[in-house]
Amino acid sequence: MSMNRRHFLTIATAAGGAACLPGFARAQTPGVTATEIRIGQTTPLSGPAAAWSSGAIVFKNYLQMINDRGGINGRKLTVLQMDDGYSPPKTVEVTRKLVEQEEVLLMAATTGTPTSVAVRAYLNQKKVPQLFVGSGAATWADDIQKFPWSLGFQPLFSDEGREIVAHVLKGKPGAKFAICYQNDDAGKDFLRGVKTGLAAANAQKQLVYESSHEVTDPTVDSQVISSQASGADIFLMFGSPKATAQGIRKSGEIGWKPQIFVNQNATSVKNVMEPAGLDHARGVMAAAFMKDPADPRWAADKDMAEWKAFMDRYSPAQPRDNLATYGTLSAQLLVQVLTQCGNDLSRENVIRQTANLDMDLPLLLPGLRVKTSPTNRHPLRGVRFQQFDGTGWKVLL
């Protein structure tokens, strides 16, 4: 199924008006009745990474809009959202509850790399689809043969690191890099991409300092101070919204003015740039794949206007930022997969449909497209670059 028209509500309309008529799925399929599809989701509604839950909340609210428009093939979507505090042991506990007690059909748009990895083997053993994980860790593409029931969504962190290095060296061949990365699979993937990019340019020695931090660390102040002392003029900050805001703020407070790059999951104006201090954040750069609602470039964009109308009605309490657009995109992908399933809502068919996506989603940056096949199931690979001007992000198209 191909969706070529870039209209935000086309997706919602297609779900409610699909040609397949409602009916009973296979009796043995958990989470599916003639009137309901049950979807599980874990996200940190509390704890140090709670800011990331904004996208999950918007995901749930988008599916409520789909329900109000008639659901998918006559079935309403029930999202069972549980707080895992961004703690892998807690994720295991609540995921088991969702699968074994709540009997969800699938897990969708769960937040985070370490938390989602912690339950991947379990979900694959149970043959429960784990779709559109909120992580760019390379394992979601590299290990898809080993874990065929699990699928990421966004561009990979390793690709992101490599593209940032290429972008910097093109304009500044002698740049000196310092990196502070989150000590988990996601951060290590980003580091690997950075080192791969430097090696390709025979510039390995230009990484002059690297440090890591835990998501639970109270601050990253010492890492920033050491990065300044290294003589670096490029600072790569890969971490949670809280750690990223701290890194930007500390750089400004000590008078260090490198070119700062932050990761694609920590670009929220509300949760990162404002806490960092807008003056400190001015000039920060990041990889991007989604339209930024604050960018005046999209002020007259019909799709953005329709998305903002959706937010006004269904998510008025959530910031209009990249976390919210991310949650929307994940929800639209799930709607498309379930719509393509028709009346065969077996878990096996759900996975089959993830290998048959061809979508020009309205909130993606121009030129980027979701496209999968049986031999290339990772939905999205490309990125663009954007820069924060003190009020919003501006894409460098």
Q: Does residue 113 sit in the same domain as residue 169?
A: no
| Per-residue model confidence (pLDDT) at position 253 | 98
Cα distance between residue 94 and residue 81, in whole Å: 10
Q: pTM of this prediction?
A: 0.79
Q: Does residue 150 sit in the same domain as residue 161?
A: no
Beta-sheet pairing, 106-108 with 2-3: unpaired
3-state secondary structure 39-50: EEEEECCCCCCH
Domain boundary (259, 288, 317) is at 288
Q: Does residue 272 sit in the same domain as residue 301?
A: no
CB 214 within 8 A of CB 183: yes
Q: 261 phi and psi, to 5 degrees?
A: -115, 135
Domain boundary (243, 264, 288) is at 288
Domain boundary (255, 270, 288) is at 288
Element (H, E) at 265: none
Domain that holds residue 353: 2-155+297-383
Q: Does residue 91 sit in the same domain as residue 198?
A: no
Does any domain span residue 51? yes
- Tokens 């470039």 belong to 297
Does any domain span residue 348? yes
Tokens of 327: 């949650």
What tens digit of pLDDT does each residue of 120-175 get? 999 999 999 999 999 888 899 999 999 999 999 999 999 999 999 999 999 999 99
Cα distance between residue 322 and residue 269, in whole Å: 8
Counting the structural domains of the chain, the total is 2
Q: 34 phi and psi, to 5 degrees?
A: -65, -15
CB 194 within 8 A of CB 157: no
| CATH value at residue 330 | 3.40.50.2300
Average pLDDT, 10 consecutive residues per value, the chain (397 residues): 48 51 53 97 94 94 98 96 97 98 98 95 98 92 95 92 96 98 93 97 98 95 98 97 96 98 90 95 95 88 97 95 93 98 96 95 93 93 91 84
Query: What is the dihedral sign for C-alpha 69, 70, 76, 77?
Result: negative
By CB atoms closer than 10 A (0-12, 13-18, 19+), residue 87 is: buried
Q: In what order do the strands lie in the sheet with 177-182?
A: 207-213, 177-182, 234-238, 259-262, 285-288, 384-388, 393-395
